[in-house]
Amino acid sequence: MAIIGPREIILGFKAVGIEPVYITDPKEAVEQVYSLKREKVEVDGESLNKYAILFILEELAKEITPEDYKKLSADPLPAIIPLPSHMGTTGYGLSKLKTIVEKAVGMDILS
C-alpha cells in the first residue's frame, strides 16, 4: 500500500503502516503512479504488484487525464483510490462513482 500526497498531510499514514510518497505537483503524481504500478515483488515464484492499493489525494487525482486513468486502472491491481484531503471533499470521488454507474447502466441511478 502506498499513499500519494503532500508531505504534511499524509505523514500520519506512515504510522498506520502505509508507505507515504511525498508529492505536491500533479504532473509528478501521474508519473509516480505509473512507476508505483510497475513495481513488482516476487512471492513464491510469482511476480505480484508491490502495491495493491494506491491512495491518492483528490487534489492530485483530479489532474490525472481520463486517458491516463484508463491505462492505470486497466489491470485488476492496483486499486487507485482517491481520498479527500483536510480541505474536505471536492466531490471527485463521488463523481467518479457516478461515471462508473453511467458507464455500466447507461444512466445515473444513484442520485
Binding site for another protein (CB under 8 A): 1, 8-9, 11-18, 48, 52-53, 55, 73, 76-77, 79, 81, 83-86, 88-89, 93-94, 97, 100-101, 103-105, 110
**Residue (29 or 78) nearer to another protein, CB:** 78
Shortest gap between Cβ of 37 and another protein (angstroms)?
A: 13
Shortest gap between Cβ of 99 and another protein (angstroms)?
A: 9
Torsion, Cα of 78, 82, 83, 89 (10° steps): -170
Pairing mode of beta strands 53-57, 79-83? parallel
**Residue (29 or 83) nearer to another protein, CB:** 83
Grid cell of 42 as nine digits: 516476487
Shortest gap between Cβ of 43 and another protein (angstroms)?
A: 10
The cell 491512495 sits on which residue? 55
Shortest gap between Cβ of 35 and another protein (angstroms)?
A: 20
Nearest C-alpha neighbor of 29 from the set 64, 73, 53, 55 = 64
**Residue (25 or 75) nearer to another protein, CB:** 75
Nearest C-alpha neighbor of 85 from the set 49, 57, 60 = 57
